[in-house]
Structure 1
Amino acid sequence: MKWFHSLRWKLLFLFFIISYIPLMFFSSVILDRMETYYLTESEKGWLGKANMVATQVKEGNYLIDNSNYNLFKTLIASKSSENGARILVVDASGFVIMDSSGADTNNTLMNDTVLSALNNQEKAQKIEGLPIMTAAVPVLDKDKKTVVGAVVLVTSIKDVFLPIQDMKNQIYLLSLVIALIAGLLSFATSSVITKPLKTLMKFVQKITNGQLDQKVNVIGKDEIAELGNAFNHMTDQLQRVEQSRQEFVSNVSHELKTPLSSIKVLTESLMFQEDVPVEMYKEFFEDINSEVDRLNNIISDLLTLVRLDQREIPLNIANVDINEMTQNILKRLTPLAKKKEIKLIYESHKDIIAEIDEVKFTLALTNLIENAIKYTPSGGEVGVVIQSDLQDAFISVQDTGIGIAKEEQSRIFERFYRTDKTRNRETGGTGLGLAITYKTVIMHNGSIQVESEEGKGSVFSVQFPLRHVWEGGTK
């Protein structure tokens, strides 16, 4: 049954069912109505014939006067031959007085049609499972007041019933053939759907084997084309992620190798020189200590990023005064700004309280302001503006620094990414500050954007909700 798991066979089965069931339903409804109509017309016709016989029985007074029995028998025989039906006449108690076939004469006949007729109600019905109809009508006395008996006609309705049955069989067979044809056509045309899917599946298997440079040829604008476009977009993203991973590994290796190389050179210089002055020992040990601090900072920031990625560091959400938090950050960074003669400007027009993790958010905002100071030339300005509406808070950090090239602005939040030679390691830092800032803002369900022009400065805009939204709802 492995073949049944094929999409084409499933489509064949699906189209067969979809085609066959409605055809059978509508065919059954139409045929049932046709059968009901023809049977009703047949019942009316045979009731009319039974009434004609009943009228002659009443006029001859045959159920009251037995003296004309032979004439009565001749009448029933002729009418039976004329109508092509078996005719029975019963008295008021159901006793068969006359039977054109002679089979039930002097017997008692009681069924639904006879009982209805003896209760002065005409009735005709088809015998279940047989092409035979019985029609019974009452026989009244000459005063038309008392039921003295009933006339029963038993006749074959093959001329009506059998054609309908044949028509049913033909329509059911036709429905089956139409459904099969529809299924086979769907099977034949399903390759239009399954072929591109099979092709796409081959490319997916290649990607699972590590071949990320896969692209499918997209034709048209239908759902299959949309799936192909989505696949191509996914491969682009996977290639970018792989490229970022490789760059990240390379950058980590380089960042860690640089201080280690410096430490090795410094230690070897001390080891292989004789009569080294104490001052040189002190100077080299200070440089070694600085490189160890730098190495430690890189490792700490890397661990922080890994934990943020894996959500290992929980958010300690609390109501925080954003104005007070920002002012405290500016106070700590004032000595750095004064050293470069940079003017710090703070602007806020109202108190803002937000649900955030103060420690993590302080680190993120500190990274932004510290970068603005580092990359702003002496005599420049760094401004921090805080605003809010009913739902969100907005913090913008503006500087008059060297700016960022437009083509590089989309990558500045990547780990270890450096825009140009001016932004080198001599400015300090690990190259991970903006990556940590970006991840922290995202964890707070916020967003961060940058607008910059080379030589004129940059503006980093942070937006985050005043009320923190947890996964699954607001606490």
Structure 2
Amino acid sequence: MINEFGRLKRKMILQIIVILVIALIVGYFINFVFIDGILQAPFADVFMAFCENILQLDYYAARNAYNVLFQQNKPFWLAIGFILLLLIIFYIALSRFTRYFHQISTGITMLADESEKEIHLPAELDFLEKKLNDVKNKLEKRAKDAQEAEQRKNDLVVYLAHDIKTPLTSIIGYLSLLDEAKDMPVEQKEKYVAVTLEKSNRLEQLINEFFEITRFNLQSIILEKDLIPLNYMLMQVADEFYPLLAPKGQKAIVKIDEDITIYADGNKLARVFNNILKNAIAYSHPNSTIEISANNENNQTWISFINTGKTIPPEKLKMIFEKFYRLDLARSSQTGGAGLGLAISNEIVQAHGGTITATSSDEKTVFTVKLPNNS
């Protein structure tokens, strides 16, 4: 910060020096021109004429007044002149200094008013100009991101509200049939009950997504850490997803060459792995294998999920961890949730002091979670 203000200090000191030099030149000019210089005689004549005509003094009294006031009190008049010059210097310096405050204030006002124009300050305040513009750009980006997230949330709420009508209409229809046809054959009744149960489960899933959307902005992540055997946790996560893997002929295998123990919040970290694996299952090819691996490197624990499926475009990959963003934008997608799973995972990993990233190329997508060993 001291170095940043150096240019401003140098300019202000230079300005003060220039003003002082001008003041000394002016003082010298007044002293040796009006009092002891070429204009001394005209000045004396004017003063004596003033005394004779206005004050009604005779020639000798006027000359004596001039000698007493000016010739015998040169130091006094020089002091008066120097004080006046110092006041002028102080005023000019203060005006220049307050001008900087005014320009900074104008920049802050533009910042507060969310002006689209760039903030411009004098060259000696270029460091402050850069900082104000950086803050302005960050605020604009945050506002834009918040607006886009809000719009995505609103779109999802509309989609979910629309999707809720479909299973609800089916449930009401099948229950009405069951209620009206008391003597319906058992096989047909069992079929209708099974369909109604399936639609009810779908309806529950959609309602849970509504709650998830509402809860996301209200939750605060509080970690309850403990020592966790990572090998066992990842194998347990893979086993729990067997019912989702089996229908598509998919498999999830865990490859870890060493026993790894991490210090973390087990429940929240399990949620991270569940979200990543659920996403991998949804977007993997049928009969493909999802590889889960972990290792220690550079005082960090690396956990990777590799799946084979459609390559994620770079522009979508950048947004994959943003809240309410869904890779599958189909309105009635069975695989897509509220678009919060990976966003929540990202926040949990960051709360542990780690990072979560994704890469995708040649139909292979890799999610990597990095956690510090002392997390």
Distance 1:227 1:202, change over 3 A: closer
The reply to whether residue 306 of structure 1 matches residue 217 of structure 2 is: yes
- Point out where structure 1 has 5 or more consecutive residues left out of the alignment: 1-14, 28-161, 208-213, 469-475
Q: 1:251 aligns with which of 131, 156, 180?
A: 156
Q: 1:292 aligns with which of 191, 203, 207?
A: 203
The reply to whether residue 464 of structure 1 matches residue 371 of structure 2 is: yes
Listed one character per residue, the Cα deviations across residues 104-138 of structure 1 (whole Å, up to 9, x for unaligned) are xxxxxxxxxxxxxxxxxxxxxxxxxxxxxxxxxxx
Q: Secondary structure at the match of 2:204?
A: helix
Q: Distance in 2 between matches of 1:314 and 1:356?
A: 11
Residue in 2 that maps onto 1:216: 117
Q: How does 1:227-266 map to 2 (within 5 A)?
A: 227-266=132-171
Residue in 2 that maps onto 1:377: 285
Distance 1:266 1:402, change over 3 A: same
Residue in 1 that maps onto 2:38: none
Residue in 1 that maps onto 2:4: none
Residue in 2 that maps onto 1:364: 272
- 2:355 maps to amino acid: S
More contact order relative to length (CA 8 Å, sep ≥ 6) = 2
Determine if contact 1:215/1:232 at 8 Å carries over to the other structure: no
Q: How does 1:83-232 map to 2 (within 5 A)?
A: 171-186=82-97, 190=99, 194-195=102-103, 197-198=105-106, 201=109, 204-205=112-113, 207=114, 214-219=115-120, 222=126, 223-232=128-137
- Point out where structure 2 has 5 or more consecutive residues left out of the alignment: 1-11, 25-72
Q: Secondary structure at the match of 1:427?
A: coil
Q: What is the root-mean-square deviation in Å for CA atoms of aligned residues?
A: 3.7
Distance 1:268 1:217, change over 3 A: same
Listed one character per residue, the Cα deviations across residues 322-375 of structure 1 (whole Å, up to 9, x for unaligned) are 122112212222453344333433222322222111011011112212321232
Q: Secondary structure at the match of 2:138?
A: helix
> Shift of residue 284 of structure 1?
4.4
**TM-score normalised to structure 1 length:** 0.55
Q: Alignment identity in percent?
A: 23
> Shift of residue 459 of structure 1?
0.4
Determine if contact 1:218/1:229 at 8 Å carries over to the other structure: no
Determine if contact 1:200/1:216 at 8 Å carries over to the other structure: no
Listed one character per residue, the Cα deviations across residues 279-319 of structure 1 (whole Å, up to 9, x for unaligned) are 464144213421332134314533553344xx1x5311111
Q: Distance in 2 between matches of 1:457 and 1:341?
A: 18
**TM-score normalised to structure 2 length:** 0.68
Determine if contact 1:400/1:456 at 8 Å carries over to the other structure: yes
- 1:333 maps to amino acid: F
> Shift of residue 235 of structure 1?
1.8
> Shift of residue 465 of structure 1?
1.6
Residue in 2 that maps onto 1:267: 172
Determine if contact 1:256/1:298 at 8 Å carries over to the other structure: no
Q: Higher Cα Rg: structure 1 or 2?
A: 1
Distance 1:196 1:168, change over 3 A: closer
Distance 1:237 1:316, change over 3 A: same
Q: Distance in 1 between matches of 2:138 and 2:173?
A: 51
Residue in 2 that maps onto 1:124: none
Determine if contact 1:438/1:448 at 8 Å carries over to the other structure: yes
Q: Secondary structure at the match of 2:280?
A: helix
Q: Secondary structure at the match of 1:345?
A: strand
Equivalent pairs counted in the alignment come to 302
Q: 2:250 aligns with which of 342, 367, 373?
A: 342
Q: Distance in 2 between matches of 1:301 and 1:350?
A: 36
Distance 1:370 1:247, change over 3 A: closer
Q: Distance in 2 between matches of 1:409 and 1:233?
A: 21
> Shift of residue 231 of structure 1?
1.3
Determine if contact 1:354/1:466 at 8 Å carries over to the other structure: yes
The reply to whether residue 316 of structure 1 matches residue 217 of structure 2 is: no
Residue in 1 that maps onto 2:307: 399
Q: Distance in 2 between matches of 1:304 and 1:318?
A: 26
- 2:181 maps to amino acid: D
- 1:216 maps to amino acid: K
Determine if contact 1:263/1:291 at 8 Å carries over to the other structure: no
Distance 1:177 1:243, change over 3 A: same
